[in-house]
């Protein structure tokens, strides 16, 4: 499917379901704005770095958006797919940079920060279209996106350590197309 094997597609699907379920779980228990970006960025980065193919994070984000739509967990409906896709596109564009700096926490934090900030256009667009005053609009988006960017950077920090542990256990080689499941 779009150049991914069945095993890779299923792994991306599970990542997208983990994103949705952690988001639902935290929404029940925490009342901190932007906290859902922590697991969104964490699982999108893991999806991209475990599968190691172009557009892996975007594929996981599209699946998360679609699954969010038909499980009723998203409150933005079709716009929810775009709000998942924008951070994933940033991550996919930054993959060559991350591949060169696999051990750098600062590089991962930067990418997490930028990816979380990429959600701002969705908020800006929807609130601008309903006629909100521009100054209030920018302040509102800054508050919502700012805390999300901090959580996004925090969510990216554990990724290098997790990847090292997965590589040490020999798990990442299983996503190699040469020895994975059926081509999809």
Partner 1 sequence: MLSGASRHTLRVSQTHLIVRISAAFGLSLAAMLWHGPWSLICLTLGVAALGTAVGAHRQPWKRFVLVFIWQVALILTLYLLRYGPQSLPEGLRVAYRLILLVLPGVLLMRSTHHGDMARLLVRVLPARMGFVLSTCVFFFPTLWGVTVQTYESQVLRGARILPRELINPVNMGTLVRVICLPAIVTSLALAKDIALAAHCRWYGLHPDRTVWPGPNPSNTTGEPRA
Interface positions, 135-154, toward partner 1 (CB under 8 A): 135-136, 139-140, 143, 154
**Part in contact with partner 1 (CB under 8 A); list of ranges 10-18, 90-98, 101-109, 110-118:** 10-18
* Residue 164 near partner 1 by CB under 8 A: no
- What does the DSSP assignment read for 4-45? -BHHHHHHHHHHHHHHHHHHHHHHHH---TTTHHHHHHHHHH
Q: Which is nearer to partner 1, 104 or 126 (CB)?
A: 126
3-class secondary-structure state, position 74: coil
Contact between 106 and partner 1 per CB under 8 A: no
- Residue 61 lies near partner 1 (rule: CB under 8 A): no
Give yes or no for residue 13 binding partner 1 (CB under 8 A).
Answer: yes
CB neighbourhood size of 184 (10 A): 14
Stretch that binds partner 1, among 83-91, 99-107, 112-120, 133-141 (CB under 8 A): 133-141
Query: By CB neighbour count within 10 A (0-12 exposed, 13-18 middle, 19+ buried), where does 136 fall?
Result: exposed
Query: Of 3, 18, 105, 107, which one interacts with partner 1 (CB under 8 A)?
Result: 18
181 binds partner 1 (CB under 8 A): yes
Length of the chain, in residues: 184
Q: Which residue has the tokens 């679609």?
A: 66
Q: By CB under 8 A, tell whether 168 contacts partner 1.
A: no
């Amino acid at each position: 499917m779009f150049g991914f094997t069945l095993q890779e597609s299923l792994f991306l699907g599970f990542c997208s379901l983990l994103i949705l379920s952690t988001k639902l779980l935290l929404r029940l228990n925490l009342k901190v704005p932007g906290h859902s970006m922590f697991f969104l960025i964490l699982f999108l980065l893991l999806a991209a770095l475990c599968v190691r193919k172009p557009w892996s994070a975007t594929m996981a984000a599209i699946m998360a958006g679609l699954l969010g739509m038909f499980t009723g967990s998203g409150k933005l409906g079709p716009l929810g797919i775009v709000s998942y896709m924008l951070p994933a596109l940033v991550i996919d564009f930054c993959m060559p940079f991350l591949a060169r700096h696999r051990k750098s926490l600062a590089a991962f934090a930067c990418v997490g920060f930028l990816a979380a900030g990429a959600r701002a256009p969705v908020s800006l667009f929807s609130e601008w279209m309903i006629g909100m005053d521009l100054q209030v609009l920018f302040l509102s988006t800054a508050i919502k996106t700012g805390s999300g960017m901090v959580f996004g950077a925090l969510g990216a920090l554990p990724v290098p350590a997790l990847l090292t542990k997965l590589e040490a256990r020999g798990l990442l080689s299983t996503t190699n197309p040469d020895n994975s499941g059926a081509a999809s």
